């Protein structure tokens, strides 16, 4: 969908209160789109809405894990605007630690937001987008799912997050294939960034129940994530602009960190050779050494 075609169209963005979601909203508003903005954090969402004063906005504070709430959102969106052209399934959270130490609630929360939030976005909005396409041969739409490089490789101490993001990549690839069978008017993209300065390291602030797992490994993983985010050279604005460029050029993969794709190649090589998964710290062995020493200490 060419950028010049966006004016007057409609974008739905989950996780719009911060990070990629806020940057998607800024670009979409600048292009003259009407917006449907969603976030579980009311004050953060209000800041985004206030910044975009003058834009036609429907905003809703809701939890994307709530399928009924997402169904209502879709119905209300089409009742107000009559159409949706860009659907950003973007809300995301993370937790760290050794996989077997993650609690049931850790798994439910991370899979609920990252995976089920995307599932609910697809199942509630895509049928309505398909109906619009059937009625209007000039209609064009696109679904953009936020996954991660953690959906293509598997760094340690991030088990639930890795699992959720791999599932989002699979969902997106399958959605691309399924859509191609029934329409040429709706496409799909999947966003797979590496470390970017967003608020995901503090996503536990919106956790609906008990505190996240507090183990030695969880603390180590959390500290690593915060350090990686603090030193990130690619900004959320950079990622959002690359995403809109992918939309304009009908690209499925959005890979803001091309150097990180080497890890995908190493994973594929290990798979084809029948070997163990590649060591994500092969190029920085001192990090692995530090983790092993810390986790094996009495």
Q: How many CB atoms lie within 10 A of CB 42?
A: 12
- Quick one: pLDDT at residue 212? 60
Residue 275 lies in a domain: no
pLDDT digits (tens, 9 = 90+) for 30-48: 999 999 999 999 999 999 9
**In total, how many domains does the chain have?**
1
- Quick one: pLDDT at residue 100? 96
Which position has the token pair 């007057």?
A: 8
281 given a catalytic annotation: no
Residue 286 lies in a domain: no
Residue 144 lies in a domain: yes
How far is residue 85's CA from residue 140's CA, in Å, rounded to a whole number?
6
- Quick one: pLDDT at residue 71? 98
Residue 164 lies in a domain: yes
pLDDT digits (tens, 9 = 90+) for 155-182: 999 999 999 999 999 999 999 999 999 9
Q: Please tell me whether the overall predicted TM-score, pTM, comes out greater than 0.75 for this model.
A: yes
Q: Containing domain of residue 48, as a range?
A: 3-262
Indicate the average pLDDT of the chain: 93
- Quick one: pLDDT at residue 2? 64
Q: Indicate which residue of 161, 166, 190, 213 is catalytic.
A: 161
Residue 130 lies in a domain: yes
In this structure, what CATH number is given to the domain that contains residue 234?
3.40.50.720
How far is residue 74's CA from residue 231's CA, in Å, rounded to a whole number?
38
| Average pLDDT per 10 consecutive residues for the chain, totaling 298 residues | 82 97 98 98 98 97 98 98 98 94 95 98 98 97 97 95 98 98 98 82 61 81 85 91 97 95 93 93 85 91
For residue 116, what are its two tokens? 């089920």
User: Which run of H or of E encompasses 61?
Assistant: strand 57-61
3-state secondary structure (DSSP) of residue 245: helix
């Amino acid at each position: 969908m060419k950028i010049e075609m966006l004016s007057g169209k409609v974008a739905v963005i989950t996780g719009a209160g911060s990070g990629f979601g806020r940057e998607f909203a800024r670009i979409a508003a600048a292009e003259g789109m009407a917006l449907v903005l969603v976030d579980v954090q009311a004050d953060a969402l209000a800041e985004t809405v206030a910044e975009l004063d003058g834009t036609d906005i429907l905003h809703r504070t809701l939890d994307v894990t709530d399928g009924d709430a997402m169904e209502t959102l879709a119905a209300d969106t089409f009742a107000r605007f009559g159409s949706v052209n860009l659907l950003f399934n973007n809300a995301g959270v993370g937790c760290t630690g050794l996989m077997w130490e993650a609690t049931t609630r850790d798994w439910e929360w991370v899979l609920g937001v990252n995976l089920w939030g995307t599932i609910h976005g697809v199942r509630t909005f895509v049928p309505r987008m398909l109906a619009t396409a059937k009625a209007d041969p000039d209609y064009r739409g696109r679904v953009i799912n936020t996954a991660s490089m953690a959906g293509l490789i598997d760094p340690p101490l991030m088990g639930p997050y890795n699992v959720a993001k791999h599932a989002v990549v699979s969902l997106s690839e399958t959605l691309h294939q399924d859509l191609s069978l029934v329409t040429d008017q709706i496409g799909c993209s999947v966003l797979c960034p590496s470390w970017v300065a967003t608020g995901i390291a503090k996503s536990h602030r919106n956790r609906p129940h008990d505190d996240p797992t507090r183990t030695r490994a969880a603390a180590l993983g959390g500290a690593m994530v915060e350090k990686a985010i603090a030193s990130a050279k690619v900004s959320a604005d950079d990622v959002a602009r690359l995403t809109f460029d992918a939309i304009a050029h009908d690209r499925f993969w959005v890979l803001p960190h091309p150097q990180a794709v080497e890890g995908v190649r190493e994973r594929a090589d290990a798979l084809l050779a029948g070997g163990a998964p590649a060591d994500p710290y092969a190029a920085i062995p001192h990090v692995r050494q530090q983790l092993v020493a810390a986790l094996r200490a009495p």
